[in-house]
């Protein structure tokens, strides 16, 4: 069994004391030891393979919401849109164009690894994209996206179809169900999908409270989004037929049994204090995707309120069709700016957002037993990021504020999946 030691000037892990000149020992895909470099090296033994890196060594990042298959639709994500409807129109112009979804998703997975991401909540819409996370060796969950079903069609063959589609996804990683959103599935279908997830023992991931149009849709069955779906032949959806249910998105999902500790939501922008309290009570995490929201022309998420009130938050990039990159750190930097603009002044901001991008994402995916932290026994998922700062406090501030686009090293399950070649060759040695 090969024993590998990675050493860096700064080692950071949520909930643990930061280290100056620290090291991590890896054996058999797991972390064996973390601590001051001299102690770790002494314990590793003379035959250990040593890699020395410049920068900050951290747990691998967890991207808690992304669609890797849309990586070749970056033209949409690099444009500016006036709102959800405008973005959707631009997206739908490109989506039907024939393309190699498998190659697009594979390119996205490679970019995720370069960003220091080791686990993802990947939404798979087209089956051809379903193997990208598996093939890249990333951890996380591949969520099969379900949308467009009316109650009538679902009763005929919906569950059988979705069971087969989910079973076709290669494992690992784990698989899950992604009921797309409250406006793209009939009410009874959303309820049945939550039941099906429980029956199969898989997690759910839902787009929720992303736009003001979505709120109008569920409350009264009105607005631009409602009219778009009526025009697309979905007027028989219960919400459209009955004029909404008079509640917001979060309460509606809860009434359907969709909010459980094995569900996490994406976006969570248009939520009030009661909604956030309900999410806390149900144990539901929210993956915040601020750069995607900005590209689409939406309001920023209530980051300061989530932090003050103690909601479980994670970080997602969404896809390149709505975001400039797949770097979670760059979304962390956006969240820091938003939190301060919303009045958050506590000195724990950097630590809280670092945790959101690591342990927060792991919690959202149900992987927090051994993911998102550097500790003995945990899965050996880690990354090194270039920073100019030599002290842990300043290095963390640099990571959060500057949002590096690319890692120097990404290790998934003990295997190097990305490394800047010159540094990797230069730093390989034996203890």
288-335 pLDDT, tens digit per residue, is 999 999 999 999 999 999 999 999 999 999 999 999 999 999 999 999
Report pLDDT for 83: 85
Res. 92 pLDDT band, cuts 50 70 90: confident
pLDDT tens figures, 173-210: 999 999 999 999 999 999 999 999 999 999 999 999 99
* Residue of 104 and 82 predicted with greater confidence: 104
Res. 422 pLDDT band, cuts 50 70 90: low
- Please state the rounded mean pLDDT for residues 108-124: 98
**pLDDT above 90: residue 98:** no
pLDDT tens figures, 15-52: 999 999 999 999 999 999 999 999 999 999 999 999 99
Q: State how far Cα 175 lies from the chain centre.
A: 14
Res. 53 pLDDT band, cuts 50 70 90: very high
The Cα 354–Cα 361 span in angstroms is: 10
Report pLDDT for 425: 44
**pLDDT above 70: residue 131:** yes
Report pLDDT for 421: 65
Report pLDDT for 387: 96
How many CB atoms within 10 Å of residue 260? 16
* Residue of 149 and 87 predicted with greater confidence: 149
Report pLDDT for 85: 81
- Kindly state the tokens that stand for 340: 């301060």
Bridge-partner residues for 411, per DSSP? 382, 416
pLDDT tens figures, 397-420: 999 999 999 999 999 999 999 998
The Cα 11–Cα 20 span in angstroms is: 7
- Helix/strand/coil (H/E/C) assignment for every residue in the chain: CCEEEEEEEEECCCCCCCEEEEEEEEECCEEEEEEEHHHHHHHHCCCCEEEECCCEEEECEEEEEECHHHHHHHHHHCCCCCCHHHHHHHHHHHCCCCCCHHHHHHHHHHHHHHCCEEEEEEEECCHHHCCHHHHHCCEEEEEEEECCCCHHHHHHHHHHHHHHHHHCCCCCCEEEEEECCCCCCCHHHHHHHHHHHHHHCCCEEEEECCCHHHHHHHHHCCCHHHHHHHHCCCCCCHHHHHCCCCCCHHHHHHHCCCCCCCEEEEECCCCCHHHHHHHHHHCCEEEECHHHHHHHCCCCCCHHHHHHHCCCEEECCCCCCCCCCCCHHHHHHHHHHHHHHCCCCCCCHHHHHHHHHHHHHHHHCCCCCCCCCCCCCCECCEEEECCCCCCHHHHHHHHHHHCCCCCCEEEECCEEEEECHHHHHHHEEEC
Report pLDDT for 431: 45
Report pLDDT for 426: 43
Contact 196, 162 (CB under 8 A): yes
Q: Which backbone phi and psi does 167 adopt, to 5 degrees?
A: -65, -20
The Cα 281–Cα 360 span in angstroms is: 17
Report pLDDT for 429: 47
**pLDDT above 90: residue 97:** no
Location of structure tokens 């406006």: 183
pLDDT tens figures, 228-281: 889 988 899 999 999 999 999 999 999 999 999 999 999 999 999 999 999 999
CA diameter of the chain: 72
**pLDDT above 50: residue 283:** yes
- Kindly state the tokens that stand for 132: 């990208």
pTM of the entire structure?
0.95
- Kindly state the tokens that stand for 171: 């494992």
Compute the half-sphere exposure of residue 313: CA atoms within 13 Å on the CB side of its CA.
28
End-to-end CA distance of the chain: 16
Q: Domains, the chain, ranges and CATH?
A: 3-60+373-430 (2.30.40.10), 61-364 (3.20.20.140)
The Cα 111–Cα 353 span in angstroms is: 22
pLDDT tens figures, 331-346: 999 999 999 999 999 9
Report pLDDT for 263: 98
Pairing of strands 117-124, 61-66: parallel
Contact 119, 62 (CB under 8 A): yes
How many CB atoms within 10 Å of residue 352? 20
């Amino acid at each position: 069994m090969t024993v590998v030691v990675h050493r860096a000037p700064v080692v950071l892990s949520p909930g643990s004391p930061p280290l100056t000149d620290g090291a991590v020992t890896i054996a058999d895909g797991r972390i064996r030891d973390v601590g001051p470099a001299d102690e770790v090296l002494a314990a590793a033994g003379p035959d250990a393979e040593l890699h020395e890196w410049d920068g900050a060594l951290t747990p691998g990042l967890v991207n808690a919401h992304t669609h890797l298959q849309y990586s070749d639709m970056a033209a949409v994500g690099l444009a500016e849109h006036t709102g959800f409807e405008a973005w959707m129109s631009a997206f739908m112009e490109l989506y039907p164009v024939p393309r190699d979804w498998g190659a697009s998703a594979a390119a996205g997975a490679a970019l995720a690894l370069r960003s220091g991401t080791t686990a993802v909540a990947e939404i798979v819409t087209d089956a051809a994209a379903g193997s990208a996370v598996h093939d890249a060796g990333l951890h996380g969950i591949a969520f099969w996206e379900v949308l467009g079903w009316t109650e009538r069609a679902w009763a005929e063959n919906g569950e059988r179809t979705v069971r087969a589609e989910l079973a076709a996804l290669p494992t690992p990683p784990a698989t899950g169900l992604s009921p797309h959103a409250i406006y793209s599935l009939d009410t009874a279908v959303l309820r049945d999908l939550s039941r099906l997830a429980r029956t199969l023992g898989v997690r759910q991931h839902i787009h929720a409270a992303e736009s003001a149009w979505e709120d109008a849709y569920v409350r009264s069955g009105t607005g631009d989004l409602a009219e778009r779906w009526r025009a697309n032949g979905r007027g028989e959806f219960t919400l459209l037929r009955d004029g909404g249910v008079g509640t917001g998105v979060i309460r509606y999902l809860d009434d359907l049994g969709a909010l459980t500790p094995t569900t996490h939501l994406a976006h969570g922008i248009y939520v009030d204090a009661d909604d956030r309290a309900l999410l806390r009570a149900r144990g539901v995490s929210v993956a915040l995707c601020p750069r995607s929201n900005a590209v689409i022309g939406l309001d920023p998420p209530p980051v300061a309120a989530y932090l003050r009130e103690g909601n479980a938050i994670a970080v997602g990039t969404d896809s390149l069709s709505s975001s400039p990159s797949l770097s979670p750190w760059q979304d962390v930097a956006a969240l820091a700016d938003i939190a301060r603009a919303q009045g958050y002044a506590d000195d724990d901001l950097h630590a809280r957002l670092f945790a959101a991008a690591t342990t927060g994402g792991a919690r959202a995916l149900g992987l927090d037993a051994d993911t998102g932290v550097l500790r003995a026994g945990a899965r050996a998922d880690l990354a090194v990021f270039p920073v100019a700062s030599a002290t842990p406090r300043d290095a963390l501030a640099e990571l959060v504020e500057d949002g590096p686009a690319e890692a120097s090293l990404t290790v998934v399950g003990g295997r190097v999946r990305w490394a800047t070649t010159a540094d990797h060759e230069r730093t390989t040695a034996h203890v």
